[in-house]
Amino acid sequence: MPSSPTPSPTPEPSGVRRRSLLGAAAAAPVLASLAGAGSAAAAPASAGADPAGGPRALPGGGDLGPNVIVFDPSTANIQGRLDEIFKQQESAQFGTGRYALLFKPGTYSGLNAQLGFYTSIAGLGLSPDDTTINGDVTVDAGWFDGNATQNFWRSAENLALVPVSGTNRWAVSQAAPFRRMHVRGGLNLAPDGYGWASGGYIADSRIDGTVGPYSQQQWYTRDSSVGGWLNAVWNMVFSGVEGAPAQSFPEPPYTTLETTPVSREKPFLYLDGAEYRVFLPEKRTDARGVSWGNGTPRGTSLPLTQFYVAKPADSAATLNQALEEGLHLLLTPGIYHLDRTVEVNRAGTVVLGLGYATLIPEGGVTALKVADVDGVRLAGFLVDAGPVNSATLLEVGPEGASADHSANPTTVQDVFVRIGGAGPGKATTSLVVNSRHTIVDHTWVWRADHGDGVGWETNRADYGVVVNGDDVLITGLFVEHFNKYDVQWNGERGRTVFFQNEKAYDAPDQAAIQNGSVKGYAAYKVGDDVAEHEGWGLGSYCYYNVNPSIVQHHGFAAPNRSGVRFHGLLVVSLGGNGQYECVINDTGSPTSGTDTVPSKVVQYP
């Protein structure tokens, strides 16, 4: 990468990926629920009784635990505390530390909050502008020699920033959302030195200045406002973004939708006076721009007393008891070991994680299942596969789910799945979506290619995301390294806006990935019987570094019919480590030699 910004950087020619270097619309009033009452589906009638009317055995509300650190403008030595946590978390990629840094409404000056692994920073106002930091929230890659492609599992939400230099640096890759942020200046998405980067995701944010992705290979921005966008490398996708570049794929590779078909922003914790509440933004159709406008957002609110504030020592039985008693779940930071499935059976239930709370299923159970009910919201947590193979890790709706949830869909937001890396883990299928109308908004489903417990059979995981439900929408889909299909979509009228994928690095030979007569499993497979499906801005990369002679026939496979449509497809061979013969089905040019140059298809069919 160049030593100073240039408007049209090109990717490094030698492979460019993180694991290769490791070796291997306007403002609206808040609804009446802010005064106390949530929607009937979202909460029990009172904070002290279960849905059947009896007393609760488990309390609602309570202390947020030692790893939720709350600051107000009068707090002494805020910078020192931020630096202490960053020093601990900067390179702790597979460590056990988990932190949420929360700032009460007000103005803070002279801060540089550097974020390491499993660290979330957020304001506690209803609007980002309620909490202003005259300073920076920084992610850089000094810990990894200027390479940002492993800057995972961290987040910034609900803050206004006035960057010291005029531009804030946010050099991240997967699983690092930037939500409900107001940057009163520019945003630089590259690390110092403009090294490699492989992100990323912005939603519901306003960046007054220019966003400079520089070396970022791909990026997805949703329902936001930007003052400008500097460049593109491989795949930049926008939906509902004011100020976004015009549609121009393949050159420059901008895929731009004027609106997002359906969106509902992530729930968030905030303060109403001295009381903690959780805000539940309303669903928007054909959304464009931020949800919070020039004031407060539109939606409903729940008091913390209607949540069981879970701690890592809680058992799955306790979490299920809380749910059965009509409480929602707030998962405080830490690691939760589950010897049975957490079962979400009540419409409108919220499961909200803070600081990358992590669920680890034991004995081969599924970590969490959702019934075929309206309006469940899952947000802000990580599911880490256990050493005994789980058939599934997260299920949204039971097999055969068929209820219509169009008015009040289930949302899955910033929920990330990992198999291996932090230790041995196996799962046949990671995320299964059976419920109709589900919205998955930003997920990274990752079979680890580095760390502990990694190998073709060691962290075996055949399928990343399987969608069986009809009318499912996924915005910001990142799925990587699965032994077979990374995404298999069987439901009708499915839609994906932005997809980023790498095929598994560690396949030992051609036979290991052979799919009948087809060379390799597609990264994104639409079922043969599907009549309607649509995708925008989808990319698949191969880096078969264990056996560079492996050939992958295509990145995408779908039935050839008029109702199945794709816009802006690409495949890339990273440094010639494996090759693609086609982009989708038998269409598209092969990737070329050792040149890391995408092969693209503008429209299919």
Looking at the annotation, which residues are catalytic?
A: 502
What token pair was written down for 549? Answer: 């002679």
Nearest-angstrom CA–CA distance, 90 and 117 = 6
- Contacts for 434 with CB less than 8 Å, ≥ 6 apart: 372, 395, 396, 397, 398, 399, 400, 401, 468, 469
3-state helix, strand, coil in the chain (%, to 5): 5, 40, 50
In angstroms, the Cα distances linking 344 to 281, 338, 357, 371, 396 are 20, 14, 17, 6, 9
The burial of 16, by beta-carbon neighbours within 10 Å (0-12 exposed, 13-18 middle, 19 or more buried), is given as buried
Which segments within 371-410 are labelled E, that is strand? 377-384, 390-396
**Peptide bond preceding 200: is omega within 30 degrees of 0, i.e. cis?**
yes
143: DSSP letter? G
Are the CB atoms for 599 and 571 separated by under 8 Å? yes
Q: How far is CA 558 from CA 484, 503, 566, 569, in A?
A: 16, 18, 10, 13
CB neighbour list of residue 472: distance below 8 Å, 6 or more residues apart: 433, 436, 437, 438, 439, 440, 491, 494, 495
Nearest to 383 by CA among 410, 347, 345, 421: 421
Query: First-to-last CA distance in the chain?
Result: 36
